C-alpha cells in the first residue's frame, strides 16, 4: 500500500475500535486492533461517509453498505469477498456453501473439492474490510461459530445485532463489556 495516497482514522464501534483505511479508489481496510500497523499520523483524517454508514449499521438502521471498495487480493480472494456481499443481512452461510458458489477454476489445481471450504475460509480470513464485507456471516457446517479476526465474541455480537435488526438499548453496553 502506498502510504502517500491513503487516509485513515479510528472508528469507535460498540464492539471496540476499528481502524479505517481508504485510498483514492475506495475503502481498503477496516481492521480490529492489532491486525495492521497504523499508517503515518499525518495521513489521519475523518472519513465521514464510512463513519455515517457504520453508525447507522450499529444502530440497526442500515442493512447494506454503499461504499466504494479498493480491496486487493488474489482472484480467489476477490471472488470470495464478492460472494460475501451476497449473503443477506441477518443470514449466515457455511464455508462449504460459500465454496460451492465460487468458480472452481479459481481454486489451485491441487485443491480437491472437499478442500475448497478451507481455501474459502482462508480467503475469508484475509478479508481486509470486515463488517462491511460481511465475513462474520460465514459459520461452520454444523452451525458453530468458527474463525473471526476480531474474535468469536465480536462475531457473535455482530450476528446478534443482525438477528434482531435493531439492537435493544442494552446491546452496546453488553457488547462493550465483552472487550
Provide the percentage of residues in the chain whose pLDDT is more than 90: 75
Q: Which residues form the domain of 105?
A: 75-164
Residue 159 shares a structural domain with residue 105: yes
What's the rounded Cα separation, in Å, for the pair 162 and 157? 9
Please check the confidence at residue 39 and state whether its pLDDT lies above 60: yes
Mean pLDDT of the region 147-170 = 78
Same domain for 110 and 43: no
User: What is the number of structural domains in the chain?
Assistant: 2
In a domain, 125, yes or no: yes
pTM: 0.86
In this predicted model, what pLDDT tens digit does every residue of 58-75 receive, in sequence order? 999 999 999 999 999 999
Quote the pLDDT of residue 113. 87
8 A C-beta contact, residue 117 and residue 16: no
**In this structure, are 46 and 88 located in the same domain?**
no
Does the structure show a pLDDT above 90 at 108? yes
Residue carrying the nine cell digits 481498503: 28
Q: Which residues are catalytic?
A: 135
Residues 48 and 101 in one domain: no
Residues 122-150: what's their mean pLDDT?
Answer: 92
Task: List Cβ neighbours of 167 (8 Å cut-off, separation of 6 or more).
Answer: 58, 59, 60, 161
Confirm whether 65 is domain-assigned. Answer: no
pLDDT higher than 90, residue 179: no
Question: Per the domain annotation, does 119 fall within a domain?
Answer: yes
Domain with 41 in it: what CATH number?
Answer: 3.30.160
The number of angstroms, rounded, from the C-alpha of 50 to the middle of its chain's C-alpha atoms is: 13
Cβ neighbours of residue 44 closer than 8 Å, sequence gap 6 or more: 7, 8, 9
Amino acid at each position: 500500500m502506498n502510504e502517500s495516497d491513503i487516509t485513515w482514522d479510528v472508528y469507535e464501534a460498540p464492539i471496540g475500535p476499528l481502524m479505517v483505511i481508504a485510498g483514492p479508489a475506495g475503502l481498503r481496510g477496516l481492521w480490529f486492533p492489532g491486525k495492521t500497523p497504523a499508517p503515518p499520523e499525518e495521513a489521519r483524517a475523518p472519513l465521514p461517509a464510512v463513519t455515517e454508514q457504520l453508525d447507522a449499521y450499529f444502530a440497526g438502521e442500515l442493512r447494506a453498505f454503499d461504499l466504494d471498495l479498493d480491496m486487493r487480493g488474489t482472484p480467489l480472494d476477490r471472488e470470495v469477498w464478492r460472494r460475501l456481499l451476497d449473503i443477506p443481512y441477518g443470514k449466515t452461510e457455511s464455508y462449504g456453501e460459500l465454496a460451492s458458489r465460487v468458480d472452481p477454476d479459481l481454486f489451485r489445481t491441487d485443491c480437491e473439492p472437499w478442500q475448497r471450504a478451507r481455501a474459502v475460509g482462508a480467503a475469508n480470513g484475509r478479508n481486509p474490510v470486515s463488517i462491511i464485507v460481511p465475513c462474520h456471516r460465514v459459520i461452520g457446517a454444523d452451525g458453530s461459530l468458527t474463525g473471526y479476526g476480531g474474535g468469536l465474541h465480536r462475531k457473535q455480537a455482530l450476528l446478534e445485532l443482525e438477528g434482531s435488526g435493531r439492537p435493544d438499548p442494552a446491546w452496546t453496553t453488553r457488547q462493550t463489556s465483552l472487550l
